[in-house]
Amino acid sequence: MAIVKPFKAVRATRDKVALVSSKSYEAYTIDQLNSKLAFNPYTFLHVINPGYKYHKKEITGEQRFKLVHNRYLEFKEDGYLKEDEVPGFYIYEKTTPSHSYCGIIAATSVDDYHNNVIKKHESTLHKRELLFEDYLKNTGFNAEPVLLTYPDNNSIETIIEKYKINRPEYEFTSTDKDLHKLWVISEESDLETIINAFETVNTLYIADGHHRSTSSCMLAQNLAKQNSEHSGNEPYNFFMSYLLPESQLCIYEFNRFIKDLNGLNTDEFLIELDTIFKIENKGQELYRPKEKHHFSMYLDGNFYSLALRKSAYEFDNALSELDAQILFKTVLKPILGIDNIRNSSKIIYSQNKSGGLELKTKVDEGLFKVSFGMLPTTIDEIKNIVDSDLIMPPKTTYIEPKLRSALTIYEI
């Protein structure tokens, strides 16, 4: 049973929300970031980049986090951000040129995370966990929700549709041509209906935001130890999440680009592959695999189809069925000598939304020797791996939607 809780969001006034909210800080190039900071005095990026005010670029660690807190207070004092008077849930709909997503922003429980009601599919880096925990502790807020997904639920969908017939609290189009709408749910009966509906949901799966959720839980544990009157109802016992039905997730694959053939020439490499795959030279055809356990490869000006020989590989659990794991176990590690796919300098990853053309261009430009593509992972594969207490390899899934920063803010 999943616990969700309404909260008093701090958010922009209706007239300024399009200017205050932004994409995630990491989504901007340096030039884009500088342009936003120079020409938009309302953007939340001024909060995240507090050194801009003092013309300082290199502010790090606790000093930077305290300045972030100060800029945040200034945004509240200047009236750009205001806290809602009563707790609520927030229906957020994002419509891109190709997809539409609609879910509920809510506070979710750190106890659910520890009790495996909220489940993760990726490993996290402890260094990043500690960094973000320190960030949350010093700034006192979180402006980007964790993306959680759950099996489609008619009761929850009914409530969402009830509100969507009304005028949104927010409705604006961002410069990337995405339409954003937000409705506020504050009626006690509707809040209770949503709380009860999520109590029937057995598992919430983290789709995006593994470090944010883990760091929030670490902070909660530490603050609970320091609080002699800890009750379990303090804001730090929850973290902000965007809960989206499984059917609305978009999952893309990551392509793999390898810098060398580990001392092999092309013919020797193909002979090694022939033991594991049925290989077909596709020439200049922009080949993309059409079924699981098939891969595309671009090497020396040619596309290849690689179909796994089932007799050459053992399927023994849900993870072993995953194409990213198959590629690692059969090619990247034994043939190309890449033991650590998280940190190896011989491999990079790129999310594939370009139809596979990037597989060819980066190799033709001489940046890499060989590239590999595969089909996207499905939500059922992710759930099977998670429910088996297994962890997926890094850069297996690129999941959308990517969420706005500072659309709603959760204070800790």
Q: Please report, for residues 108, 160, 184, 332, the alpha-carbon distance to residue 253 in angstroms, rounded to integers and kept in the order given.
A: 28, 30, 34, 17
Task: Write down the pLDDT at residue 207.
Answer: 96
Burial of 39 from C-beta contacts in 10 A (0-12 / 13-18 / 19+): exposed
Domains in the chain (CATH in brackets) are: 4-251+400-411 (no CATH), 254-395 (3.30.1760)
Q: Please report, for residues 179, 229, 238, 245, 405, the alpha-carbon distance to residue 101 in angstroms, rounded to integers and kept in the order given.
A: 10, 40, 24, 9, 16
CA 196 to chain centre: 27
Task: Write down the pLDDT at residue 338.
Answer: 96
Q: Sign of torsion, CA 252 258 264 265?
A: positive
Task: Write down the pLDDT at residue 277.
Answer: 98
| Closest-CA residue to 68 (of 80, 78, 53) | 53
Q: What are the per-10-residue average pLDDT scores of the chain (412 residues)?
A: 97 97 90 92 94 66 89 96 98 96 98 96 86 95 98 93 96 96 96 96 95 96 95 97 97 95 98 97 94 97 96 94 96 96 89 80 96 95 95 90 96 96
- The CA dihedral of 312, 315, 320, 326, to the nearest 10 degrees, is 20
**H/E element, 184:** strand 179-185
Task: Write down the pLDDT at residue 352.
Answer: 75
